[in-house]
Amino acid sequence: MRRHLVLPLGLMLLFGLARPAWAGDVVTPHHGRRTAIVEAIQRAQPAVVNIHSERVSYADGATPNRANGMGTGIIVDPRGYIVTNHHVVDDVNLLRVRLPDGTAYLAKVIARSKEHDLALIKIDAGKSLPIIRVGTSSDLLIGETVIAIGNAFGYENTVSVGIVSALNRDVTLNKEISYKSLIQTDASINPGNSGGPLLNIEGELVGVNVAIRAGAQGISFAIPVDQMVRVVGDMLARRRAQDLALGFGYQDVMNAEEPLRPRVTVAKVHPQSGAAKAGLQPGDLILQVGEVSVHNPLDLERALCDRKPNDRLPVRVRRGEQEISFEFPLEVEDTQSEAQGKAWDVLGLRFRAGTAERRSDSTATGSLVVTAVRPGSPAEKVGIQKGDALVGLHHWEISQFDHLSFVLNHTDFRKFQPLRFHIVRNGQRHWGNLEIRD
């Protein structure tokens, strides 16, 4: 039986353990207890969700075996877009998301990257949801306080606190799973925490919790938020790529006013586009698109999500010391012709749309079938043949022409070299690297 030490008020006063209100103090609720950690948790917790999954397998071909899983997600857009780990949603038949207020919704997988162990899912809550404040991992300090929130072992909204133990850790879990440049922390991470936030003392997202070191104590890892922003921004960009001509390209750069805070600038403006006619220029710092303040590529893609051709796009930028507002129409883009031309010039390939090439690690809805290979091209040098079905470039799945256009026109395309490709030939998957020359 647990015994509690109880002291009379007089003794508590004698030992300085308590002071009555008449001693001159102003008594306020939680006086001295509302620390920065408490405030950071309260700020972020409404945007953290619990994920429950169900996998169904058939051991004897007839009897279903159901296995339940759990994870955590981070709301990044008020419309219900949620970031989590790829391994949380991989090969599941049912996803259910529970919000902090106890309401639950079915979720669908929007996009995922096995290479980065990140996924984007969506729920339809019928209301605007609170979103996480996205920080940066570029200025993390070894030893600074970090906070993890997650569905640890099914105990929803579990909070743990630790420090940043190390940065840029490369971690190999097995032959198939490895990670680059992770954040190491001693904040307690357990099964179910996967996909949940790692926060700084300001309540800003600095990482996505992903793994622990089995058999160790206080060795946990998180994906840096700057990496998450790029990957999930690309996921949303691919969703809006089909038919929609933005009229300008963008890149994230370091902000001169806050050197460690990335911002988004206009990288190029396509001639004769609505953006060009409105007066947008390369180098403009993008401040706001629609109702969304833009601090990183994910913000920009959130602002563009669900927009359609002919929608008018309000954009506010900073040019030098001046803030300028534009509004221009989004246009329909012939991605097939553009992608065909660039693929012939860069890869040495021409395609036609093909049927789905189903693979165990893919949700492909189609493929691009090679119809011609240019002599002396990068594709010919690695043995790609007429009839091969292209299903992947770099770490993106390719199932239609706008996917191909997205990769070939990506701002960081040159950094992808050598360009990894995946093809299906006679039902067998093959991969290799394309050496792209300037």
Kindly name the residue from 77, 117, 284, 299 that is annotated as catalytic.
117
CB 335 within 8 A of CB 353: no
Task: Give CA–CA dist 210/200, Å, rounded.
Answer: 17
Pairing of strands 48-58, 94-98: antiparallel
Kindly name the residue from 160, 194, 377, 405 that is annotated as catalytic.
194
Q: Which residue has the tokens 């995922």?
A: 112
Q: How many residues does the chain have?
A: 438
* DSSP H or E stretch at residue 125: none
CB atoms within 10 A of CB 37: 15
Q: Is 138 an annotated catalytic residue?
A: no
* DSSP H or E stretch at residue 274: helix 274-278
Compute and round to an integer the Cα radius of gyration of the chain: 25
Task: Give CA–CA dist 54/70, Å, rounded.
Answer: 9
Task: Give CA–CA dist 92/370, Å, rounded.
Answer: 32
**Which amino acid is located at 232 in the chain?**
V
**b/e 48-68 (16+ beta carbons within 10 angstroms → b):** bbbbbbeeeeeeeeeeeeeee
Q: Is 194 an annotated catalytic residue?
A: yes
Kindly name the residue from 52, 87, 403, 422 that is annotated as catalytic.
87
Alpha carbon separation from 83 to 71, 288, 385 (Å, rounded): 11, 22, 38
Q: Comparing C-alpha atoms, which of 73, 56, 236 is closest to residue 151?
A: 73
391 — phi, psi (to 5°)? Answer: -125, -5
Active site amino acids: 87, 117, 194
